């Protein structure tokens, strides 16, 4: 069976994208009479018709490479149906270019925004398969996304390295970990790195309770405290505000990032010297860990199986130990926040890690 497969990577990059692309390509070349079209810079390339027919050799040597050989961009879903200054009807353009590229199907690798657009294109009649990537692990219907475990390893390493400075200087160190809406990365890295406090977007914190952790630790001779804070964590007061009101308050403040706000308040409340560390995009960079290489490859291979079966309008998923898929319409745009009864949250509480609540 001869089949022409488009592939694009959209949204923030993360480790494992190339491993997943390679997985799709190798399985497709092996099991189908496949031709693969690489679309550049995510949906931007589909809108602009920016693509190349790939050679098999282009998928060699990329398993361990970070980033994406296809390039990526953020093309927000909310703008997809909005005609902007360039006067381009983006949905129409994507459908026309899909046809101009003579695609039989399109594999989209991305996070929540990518999946929403994938679902839109599927509803517009295109044959779409999504692959769930993001360091945030916040895609509904899959136990894990690829990229997440690598980011956990990186953030854990940061916390490990910070411990020595914290202990040597008797400091409180506040490490800001990526994750705006979901705190999975902070939860896992905080637990793995032995943080004393983990602050998540899902659990508004009381800064006085965080200060008490520092004081209680000093009282029993522990002269330093490690706080892992998700970039989207909110205080009780902030959580009670409307988003615009909150953002205005932050902009008026000298501290725009959560770690700086937390550290400055804690210094005032406790008199303990505080420092902040923001590893930022390092958490998305470099080579995927072994787990992500395997998961990305499995996801890619499963996408090729689905193409062979002619099953579209789905996103590949990890469910327990099995690789399966979900209908795009069932998962696109559905959030996956940290469940407050999650066993890791409970285990953390059982070893006296504070969530500031
Ligand atoms: O979705 C992945 C992520 O790294 C989030 O954790 C973070 O909030 C966001 O992307 C940062 O986006 P950008 O790279 O566009 O600044």
Q: What is the CATH T-level fold of the domain 2-146+288-331, as seen in this structure?
A: Rossmann fold (3.40.50)
The atom of ligand 1 lying closest to the CA of 179 is: 6
Report the alpha-carbon angle 124-126-129, nearest 5. 120
Reading phi first (left if > 0) and then psi (alpha if -120 to 50, else beta), residue 253 is in beta
Reading phi first (left if > 0) and then psi (alpha if -120 to 50, else beta), residue 70 is in alpha
Banded pLDDT at 150 (limits 50, 70, 90) = very high
**CA distance linking residue 110 with residue 11, whole number of Å:** 6
Give me the pLDDT at residue 254, please: 74
Smallest CA-to-CA distance from 333 within 130, 179, 71 is with 130
Every domain of the chain and the residues it spans: 2-146+288-331, 150-284
Q: Which among 12, 201, 278 is the best mutation to test ligand 1's pocket, defined by most ligand atoms within 8 Å of the CB? A: 12
Strand partners, 225: 172
Dig out the tokens for 76 from the structure. 């927000």
**CA distance linking residue 210 with residue 35, whole number of Å:** 56
Taking only the tens place, the pLDDT of each residue in 304-327 is 999 999 999 999 999 999 999 999
Smallest CA-to-CA distance from 176 within 201, 140, 202 is with 201
Give me the pLDDT at residue 258, please: 96
**CATH no., domain 150-284:** 3.40.50.460
Report the alpha-carbon angle 261-164-338, nearest 5. 50
Dig out the tokens for 184 from the structure. 């999975």
Give me the pLDDT at residue 38, please: 98
Q: Which residue has the tokens 């002269």?
A: 223
Dig out the tokens for 254 from the structure. 């000298």
Give me the pLDDT at residue 1, please: 63
Query: Catalytic site residue 136?
Result: yes
Smallest CA-to-CA distance from 213 within 357, 325, 336, 69 is with 357
> Is the entire prediction scored with pTM above 0.95?
yes
Radius of gyration of the chain (CA): 22
Q: If you average pLDDT over residues 229-233, what whole number do you get?
A: 98
Task: State yes or no: pLDDT of 14 exceeds 90.
Answer: yes
Q: Which among 10, 72, 178, 337 is the best mutation to test ligand 1's pocket, defined by most ligand atoms within 8 Å of the CB? A: 178
**Which residue CA neighbors atom 13 of ligand 1 most closely?**
12
Taking only the tens place, the pLDDT of each residue in 43-98 is 999 999 999 999 999 999 999 999 999 999 999 999 999 999 999 999 999 999 99
Task: State yes or no: pLDDT of 268 exceeds 80.
Answer: yes
**CA distance linking residue 90 with residue 265, whole number of Å:** 46
Give me the pLDDT at residue 2, please: 87
- Ligand 1 binding pocket (C-beta < 6 A) is 12, 74, 111, 134-136, 178-180, 231, 284
Percent of the chain at pLDDT exceeding 70 = 99
Give me the pLDDT at residue 81, please: 94
Dig out the tokens for 57 from the structure. 């050799």
Asked if 2-146+288-331 and 150-284 have one fold, the answer is yes
Give me the pLDDT at residue 171, please: 97
């Amino acid at each position: 069976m001869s089949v022409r497969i488009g592939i694009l990577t959209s949204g923030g990059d993360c480790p494992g994208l190339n491993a997943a692309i390679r997985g799709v390509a190798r399985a497709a070349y092996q099991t189908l009479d496949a031709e693969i079209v690489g679309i550049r810079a995510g949906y931007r390339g589909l809108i602009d018709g920016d693509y190349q027919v790939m050679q098999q050799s282009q998928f060699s040597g990329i398993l361990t490479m970070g980033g994406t050989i296809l390039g990526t961009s953020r093309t927000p879903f909310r703008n997809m149906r909005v005609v902007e200054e360039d006067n381009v009807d983006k949905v129409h353009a994507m459908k026309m270019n899909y046809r101009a590229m003579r695609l039989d199907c399109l594999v989209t690798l991305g996070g929540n925004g990518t999946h929403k657009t994938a679902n839109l294109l599927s509803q517009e009649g295109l044959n779409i398969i999504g692959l769930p990537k993001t360091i945030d692990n916040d895609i509904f219907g899959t136990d894990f996304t690829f990229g997440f475990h690598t980011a956990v390893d990186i953030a854990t390493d940061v916390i490990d390295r910070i411990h020595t400075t914290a202990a040597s200087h008797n400091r409180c160190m506040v490490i800001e970990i990526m994750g705006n809406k979901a705190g999975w990365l902070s939860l896992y890295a905080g637990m793995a790195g032995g943080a004393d406090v983990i602050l998540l977007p899902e659990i508004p914190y009381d800064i006085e309770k965080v200060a008490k952790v520092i004081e209680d630790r000093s009282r029993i001779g522990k002269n330093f405290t490690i706080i892992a804070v998700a970039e989207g964590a909110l205080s009780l007061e902030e959580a009670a505000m409307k988003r615009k009101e909150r953002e205005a308050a932050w902009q008026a403040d000298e501290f725009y990032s959560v770690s700086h706000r937390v550290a400055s308040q804690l210094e005032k409340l406790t008199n303990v010297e505080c420092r902040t560390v923001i590893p930022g995009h390092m958490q998305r960079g470099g080579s995927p860990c072994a787990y992500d290489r395997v998961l990305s490859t499995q996801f890619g291979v499963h996408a090729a199986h689905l193409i062979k079966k002619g099953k579209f309008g789905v996103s590949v998923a990890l469910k327990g130990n099995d690789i399966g898929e979900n209908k795009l319409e069932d998962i696109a745009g559905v959030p996956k926040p940290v469940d407050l009864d999650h066993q890791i949250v409970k285990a953390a509480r059982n070893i006296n890690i504070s969530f500031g609540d």
